[in-house]
Structures are given as structure tokens and as C-alpha cells.
Structure 1
Amino acid sequence: MLPTHRSPTDLQVSDPLGVPGAPQETWGAVQAHLEGAGRAGGRLILVTDRQGDRQNAAYAALVVQHGQAVIAAPAFGPRYGRPGAEALAELVHWAQERNWPVRETVLNPSDFVRVLAEPDAEEVGRLIAASNPTDPGIYTTLPKLKPVDEDGWDEA
């Protein structure tokens, strides 16, 4: 039996998880939401506003499984310092442990915040369609980050 085609409007899209810019809180929200989720049939799509600039990239996560989609707030990646880079690596490892494909899509900066804050099924369908396969290793290798001074400000 051939699988049936699902249109983007068939997707059930949950409210976004986590807090923008808060990597550990957002990663914890994703883990809590997906606790007990089956291992089969899922995929992880990383959504970023940068192409070719991974050192400064912010990522949100789109998890799709069995016709349901959930977006995690943009809180992953080097833009959010070491905690953001570590949360991104943990998220990708988590997907790999489930044999889920890891994909990436780029949104232009003007749409990045809007689409991720209030996603609808049609926009999520476009994110899925625009995603491309990616090498998970580029997200699990922690980058060298700029040093931060004692007050938490980047050094010039």
C-alpha cells in the first residue's frame, strides 16, 4: 500500500515551545513535550536566519512526527553562546539516537521571528518543503566562541 499524500493543512501545529534566546529552558521544553514520543517516523528540521555563517547562527527547531509539528523557539546555536551551541548539539544527538533525518531550512531575517512566533500549518508546510538534508556533524561539533568578559559583554 502506498502512503497517502498529506497536504500542509493536514498538519497539526502545536504552539511554539520554549523562550527565544533561552537555550536550556527551550531544550528542556522540547524534551518534556516529546517525552514518550515514539522513535519512528520523525524528523528534525533546523530553521535559521543565516546561510553560510554558522558561527553566528541562531536556530529554531521544527520537529515533525506522524502529522504533528512543533516549533521550538529560536534559542539554539552559537548566537546564544556556549549554552546555545551545547543545546543545539544535544538536540541533534537526540534526533540521531532516534534515526531521524536532520534537515535545515533558511528563512529571511524579516520572516524568522514572525513565522516562528505564530506558525500556521501552511507556513510550516513551506518550511518542510524548503528544507534540505544536512550533515548532523556540523551541529554537534562545538565551535570556538569569542571570549566573554566578566560582565558578560563580548570583548571588542
Structure 2
Amino acid sequence: MEADPSGFNIDAPRWDQRTFLGRVKHFLNITDPRTVFVSERELDWAKVMVEKSRMGVVPPGTQVEQLLYAKKLYDSAFHPDTGEKMNVIGRMSFQLPGGMILTGFMLQFYRTMPAVIFWQWVNQSFNALVNYTNRNAASPTSVRQMALSYFTATTTAVATAVGMNMLT
């Protein structure tokens, strides 16, 4: 990897996006669960570095590796359409730890109907938050559409879980 960032295009794909492996590497990079634990200050630094790099104004002494790390943090924490910092729980990098925790609770608390209903509701709410956080912000969605989608998905998940529980 080159050390001199002059002429470096921060928006150019790091891996060949025409290949499956290149796309896998890209998405593994930006969904890395370790980025969940990065401080707000470091995320703000990453945003500044990406924006400066896009303008061609890289601070002296900056290495390409630093720019790649800043881009990784930026892509994992800031919405691609709005540029706003996404909430931690809704980020794709929180999907793995969040999903594992919820799956553990759903597997542990399945014996009573109230527990099944509660944990299915929590799981579906988590999924809805992730979907909302990573939505296509360029296409407007009304509050009514979001509420109907949430209600339908949650009701379906709870009904399916309750129905499956009754069969066992």
C-alpha cells in the first residue's frame, strides 16, 4: 500500500466490485462489529478526513492507511444519502452482536407465551430500526407507511412465533 496520499481517490473501491470476493471484502470491511466501539470523537475525525480527502486537502503527514481507516469508519457510521451519523443500534455493524444477543434471549425465553411475544416484538423492533436507519433516504417514506410496515411485520412475526409455539 502506498504511503503518499497525493492523488488518492477516497471514493474509489478498495477491492474490485466486479467480483464476488471484492464485494464480500467491501461489505465485511464496513460491517465490521469492532466499529461499534469507536468513540464519537474518532467518528467525527473520520468524517473530517473523508471530506478533506474528497476536496483534495489531506493534512500533511497523513498516510493512505489512515485514509482507508477513516473511510471504513465513515462508511460504517454515516448514512450514504444524508451524511448524518446513524444511531449505533441501527448500524449494519451492530447487526451481528445485536442479532446474536436477541437470538440468545429468544432461545432462552421461549417457554411462556408472554416471553415469546415480548422477545419477538423486541427482535422485530430491532430489525425495523436497522431497516429504518439504513433506508434509502432519497425516497421519501411517510410516517403512515412506516407505521403500517412496522405493525404488519411485528404482528406477523409474533403470530408466527405464537403459532409455532402452539404446535410444539
TM-score over 0.5 (shorter chain): no
- Between Structure 1 and Structure 2, which shows a larger proportion of helix residues? 2
Larger radius of gyration: 2
TM-score under structure 2 normalisation? 0.27
TM-score by structure 1 length?
0.29
For CA contacts below 8 A with separation 6 or more, give which structure has more relative contact order.
1
